[in-house]
Amino acid sequence: MVEGLVREFVPEAMAAGIDFSRMEMVPAKFHARRGKRRDGDVIWRLPTRDGPDIYLYILLEFQSKIDRWMSVRMQVYVGLLWQQIIRELKLKGQDTLPPVLPIVLYNGDRSWNAPTELADLITLPADSALWHWQPRVRYYLLDESAFPRDELARRESLAALLFRLEHCHEPDELIGLIDEAVNWFRQHPDYDTLQHLFTEVVQQAARGLKDQGAAVAIPEGMQEVRTMLATRVQEWTRKWKDEGKADTLLRQLLRRDKALPAGLEDRIRAASSDELDVWTDRLVDGKSLTEIFGPDHTH
């Protein structure tokens, strides 16, 4: 998964000549402020063919909110990582530090607008002599929403599929993405653990549909989620259309009558699609609520 992410979305790292056959995960043994271990971080040592090893530091908090001070945090984390490397490799004398490529994976809907370089947060004139002593930490930003959907759809990697799943808001689209994920894992049966992780992403995407009035109990398996969605999409679509009809009818009534009697809005919200159509037609010529909804128009 990490190899696919780097190959497709971090061309600068690819230019360093990475040998993926010898990559290995490095446990993050350092602690951040308040003594808490940063279990959400993922660090990989990526050997290069002709140069030093690269430590790929992926900040996998799956940032969903923009953090203006991310470059400050990155400076701290990279420093802690270097301390860990010095300690474990027992560096001394003329030894040097390996390069680190810090990556922030951002999955929010708004475009990331925080500075990616620490220097942009420091108050100094451009010609100040103090710049010589200021840190120049920079992180590599992967803003999932910045990649056009059609471009991601042309890619066949799991990384691209992950980006698409995390930004899926429509049931029909989610069904298609689940089909793609299921087909990928059928072709790669050895990736069982990764399939469980993708199932969790699919479940999160399905739960996100509750914002559209589609809240249901979410099954445990990826295929089961797909089957559930396929059987519910028509029902949800019909419900959303009826809600749109009710909103339109209420808006037109309020424009004409300014206020509605108690109970009428509840009746409209609970009406069938056919009833909404009839009332909307009557609104054109009906001069009173009784002519539109009948004599007992609030029940």
> Per-domain residue ranges for the chain?
2-148, 238-293
Which residues on neighbouring strands pair with residue 240, listed in sequence order?
none
Confidence of residue 134 (pLDDT cuts 50, 70, 90): very high
**Residue 221: Cβ within 10 Å count:** 14
Distance CA 250, CA 264 (A): 9
Query: In this structure, are residues 103 and 139 in contact, taking their beta carbons and an 8 Å threshold?
Result: yes
Provide the 10 A C-beta neighbour count for residue 203. Answer: 17
Backbone phi, then psi, for 218, in 5-degree steps?
Answer: -95, 125
Contact 293, 250 (CB under 8 A): no
Other CB atoms within a 10 A radius of the CB of residue 154 amount to 9
Provide the token pair at 207.
């739960």
**Is 259 or 3 the better-scoring residue by pLDDT?**
3
Q: If you average pLDDT over residues 79-88, what whole number do you get? A: 88
Looking at residue 61, its pLDDT comes to 45
- Average of pLDDT values for 125-135? 92
Task: Write out the two tokens for 168.
Answer: 């899926």
231 vs 96, which has greater pLDDT?
96
Task: Quote the percentage of the chain above a pLDDT of 90.
Answer: 10
Mind giving me the DSSP string for 5-29? HHHHH-HHHHTT-B-GGG-EEE---
Length of the chain: 299
Order of strands, edge to edge, in the sheet holding 54-63?
24-26, 41-46, 54-63, 100-106, 140-143
**The predicted structure's pLDDT at residue 254:** 83
Pair 276, 249: CB distance under 8 Å = yes
DSSP state of 90: T
DSSP for 215-239, please give it: --PPPSSHHHHHHHHHHHHHHHHHH
Q: What is the pTM of this model?
A: 0.66
Question: What is the rounded average pLDDT of the residues 176-188?
Answer: 83
**Least confident piece of the model among 64-68, 118-122, 250-254, 286-290:** 286-290
| pLDDT tens figures, 203-259 | 777 776 655 554 555 556 677 667 766 665 556 566 656 677 778 888 888 888 777
Looking at residue 16, its pLDDT comes to 82
- Under the banding of pLDDT at 50, 70 and 90, the label for residue 188 is confident
Could you give the C-alpha distances from 104 to 2, 42, 197, in angstroms and in order? Answer: 13, 11, 20
SS3 (DSSP) at 62: strand
Mean pLDDT highest for which of 161-165, 188-192, 198-202? 161-165
Can you give the pLDDT at residue 114?
Answer: 93
Q: Rounded distance, CA 214 to CA 236, Å?
A: 6
- Which percentage of the chain shows pLDDT scores above 70? 81
pLDDT score, position 233: 57
